[in-house]
Amino acid sequence: MIYYKKIYKSPLGDLSLVADESGLVGAWFLGQKYFERGLSEVPILGNHPFLDLASNFLDAYFSGQQPNPAALPLSAQGTDFQQRIWAYLQTIPYGQTVTYGQLAQELKVKSAQAVGGAVGRNPLSILVPCHRVLGSQGQLTGYAGGLDKKIWLLEHEGVRLDRSTKVL
């Protein structure tokens, strides 16, 4: 397997964008939890059309547009359960949030904790918007890239937060 990598400079810090011949494999903040996890080979730094698509998506996103993530060829590696959760994350509209419990109920999964584990291992930060998932009372819970980034992303999308970092 050959992986291609590009460093994307975002307002929140550098992202490592990785693709293979099938699509985008990952978008990780440098140093985040699970950074580049699951890659079987060291990625080659360089250009690739899928990396360009991801960069264009992120440019649009950070400039305040609402790019369509369905246009991105994704090739994240995960279990069938994780893939199911990640597919659902892609349906959460820009500027909206759901709770882990709502996600579990919607997908008929008995454990919101299992859902949380899959959400937390999402390898495609921002592109698959796991930052839009909250705790049961609307509180901000963990984010592999850091809670400060989750807050920034939600506020960037117009989600109003109160002082205790709950969604209003």
CB atoms within 10 A of CB 83: 14
Q: How far apart are CA 101 and CA 88, in angstroms?
A: 13
Catalytic: 130? yes
Q: How far apart are CA 108 and CA 102, in angstroms?
A: 10
Q: What end-to-end distance do the CA atoms of the chain give, in Å?
A: 45
Q: How far apart are CA 86 and CA 122, in angstroms?
A: 7
Q: Which of 130, 133, 140, 167 is catalytic?
A: 130
Take residue 138 and report the two structure tokens written for it. 């609307």
DSSP 8-state assignment for residue 167: B
Distance of alpha carbon 1 from the chain centroid: 23
Take residue 48 and report the two structure tokens written for it. 């690739």
Take residue 87 and report the two structure tokens written for it. 């597919």
Q: Which residues form the catalytic set?
A: 130
